[in-house]
Amino acid sequence: QVQLVESGGGLVQPGGSLRLSCAASGSIFSIYTMGWYRQAPGKQRESVATITHDGNTYVANSVKGRFSISRDNAKNTVFLQMNNLKPEDTAIYYCKAQIKGVGTGPVLPYWGQGTQVTVSS
């Protein structure tokens, strides 16, 4: 069984910063691409940033230059550093990871439970 647990969300003023963390645990053989997605009220879930096992990154244009993604493979953890936050960044942020469990079987996508980020004065 595999679990993703996010942390680091909260309320921040415009221009502020937050750092989200997502730790994977359980019967893990290997973790491939990890990423962050967000969903604002009334909107579809969108990709924010992803990072491969080797460290290749993708960052959405809407957050480029303000957000950065990184990971610690030894700790099965992915981070999202969010700077210069804007009210439009308000959303629930979800972590996703492509994971192969211990033993035989395919690589499967796993999602965290989400963490609320609210940017407001």
Give which of 96, 86, 90 is closest to 2, Cα–Cα: 96
Q: Which two tokens stand for residue 21?
A: 């963390």
Which letter, b or e, does each residue of 27-45 get, where b requires 16 or more Cβ atoms within 10 Å of its Cβ? ebeebebbbbbbeeeeeee
Beta carbons of 94 and 78 less than 8 angstroms apart: no
pLDDT tens series, the chain, 121 aa: 899 999 999 999 999 999 999 999 999 999 999 999 999 999 999 999 999 999 999 999 999 999 999 999 999 999 999 999 999 999 999 999 999 998 868 999 999 999 999 999 9
Give which of 85, 94, 90 is closest to 112, Cα–Cα: 94
